[in-house]
Chain A
Amino acid sequence: SYVLTQTPSVSVAPEETARITCEGNKIEDKMIHWYQQKPGQAPVLVVHDNNVRPSGIPERFSGVNSGNTATLIIKKVEAGDEADYYCQVWDFTVDSWFFGEGTTLTVL
C-alpha cells in the first residue's frame, strides 16, 4: 500500500498563491495527478503527469514533483477555486491507484 499524505486544509487570500502538498515515499519516481472536487460535484482533473494541464484548465494551475513531495500550485487564487483537492498515483508494484486524503482549499 502506497500512502499519500496531504495537509487537511489550506487557506489563502484572493490573488495569492496556494500550494497544496502531497507527500509519499520517493514520490518523484511516480506520475502524480491532481483533482478538484467542489461540493456536490464529481472530481475534475486539473493537472496530470506531474505538471500537465488538461484542456480547459486555467494556466494558473501547475504542479511540481520532487523528492518525497508533490505540489499543486494555484496562482492568483479566485473564490471559485474553493474546493477539495486530491492527489493520485499509480503504484506499479501492486497495480493499484492511490489517492491522498484530500486538502480543503479555503479562499479568505
Chain B
Amino acid sequence: EAQLLESGGGLIQPGGSLRLSCAASGFVFSSRAMAWVRQAPGKGLKWIAGINGSGHSTYYAESVKGRFSISRDNSKNTVSLEINNLRAEDTALYYCAKVALAGVTDGAFDIWGQGTKVVVSS
C-alpha cells in the first residue's frame, strides 16, 4: 500500500527557515513525480511545488518562487521542501502528494500524506 508521511513542521519565527520531509513507501518512488500542497487554516488547497521522478525538473507556484526549494533523494525515498524567510502567510498544513502515473509530471495526485503543520509566529 502506497503511503506518504510528512515531518518537519513546527512553530517558527518570521524570517526563519524550515525543511519539511516526506517519506514514501509502497511504490516505485523514482518513477513518480511528487508535489507539495498547502492549506492555510480554513482555506482551500494551494499547490506550491513539484518535482519529476529523476529530480532534474522542478516546478513552483509563482507566489513561492525564490523562497521555496523542492528536492528528492531517490535512494532514501524522500522528497523535501525547504522554506526560507518564513512569513505569517506561510502558516498552513503542508501536504506531500504523489502523482498517479509513472513517468509524467502533470497527472492527478492519487496519494496524499496526512500533512505537517507549520505555524509562523513570533
Contact = CB atoms under 8 A, between A and B. Distances in A.
B121 to A, nearest CB: 22
Nearest to A102: B44
Contacts of B50: 97
Contacts, number: 63
Interface residues of B, number: 23
Interface stretch (A13-21, A37-45, A68-76): A37-45
A42 B44 contact: no
Contacts of A99: 37, 44-47
A42 B50 CA distance: 18
Interface in B95-116: 95, 100, 105-110, 112-115
Contacts of B106: 31, 90, 92, 97
A45 B61 contact: no
A48 B110 contact: yes
B47 A54 contact: no
Given A88-B108, A95-B59, A43 B45 contact: yes
A37 B100 CA distance: 18
B40 to A, nearest CB: 12
Given A43-B45, A86-B45, A96 B100 contact: no
Interface of B: 35, 37, 44-47, 50, 59-62, 95, 100, 105-110, 112-115
Interface of A: 1, 31, 33, 35, 37, 42-45, 48-49, 54, 84, 86, 88, 90, 92, 94-102
